[in-house]
Amino acid sequence: MKKALYASPQDAESAFYEALTKADLDAMMAVWADDDDIYCVHPNGARLSGVESVRDSWRRIFASGQTLRFQLRESQHVQGMMLSVHSVYEHITIAGETRARSPMIATNVYLRTERGWRMVAHHASPAPTSAEPEPRRAAPPKTLH
């Protein structure tokens, strides 16, 4: 299978969540780099390193047969020439469920390779249950000289 060429980290991220929604293992692994230095941490799970471990984890998740839908919110990106780090809140719904689930916070890391942008890390964990956002600290006053 020929891997898609993702021109931007945002293209790779869109493909990642589309593959996750469709439970498409081939499409999922097309997003990931072919490097044993990749890693994935699923919510409340251990760190999985390497292509085979990451592939096997997605295979098990997709075998559950659940239909997942994602809404990404509060996305923040830090991007350089070769690396892009995305922090997102994943609001997940499962087909057939009526109760709302608590969101996950995910960090997705993309690396620019000779074949376009590829995911090298995904780490998701439950968001805190606090309803109030973290307070912002006031910036110290600036003094002009």
pLDDT at 138: 57
pLDDT at 90: 81
User: What stretches in the chain show pLDDT beneath 50?
Assistant: 131-132, 145
Integer Cα distance of 63 and 126 in angstroms = 22
Integer Cα distance of 134 and 64 in angstroms = 35
CA–CA distance from 125 to each of 13, 19, 106 (Å)?
A: 18, 19, 7
Domains, the chain, in order of start with CATH, read: 9-126 (3.10.450.50)
86: phi > 0 → left, psi -120 to 50 → alpha, else beta; which? beta
pLDDT at 35: 87
pLDDT at 130: 61
Tokens of 90: 């994943």
pLDDT in tens, 20-47: 889 999 999 999 999 889 999 998 889 9
Q: State the pTM of this model.
A: 0.80
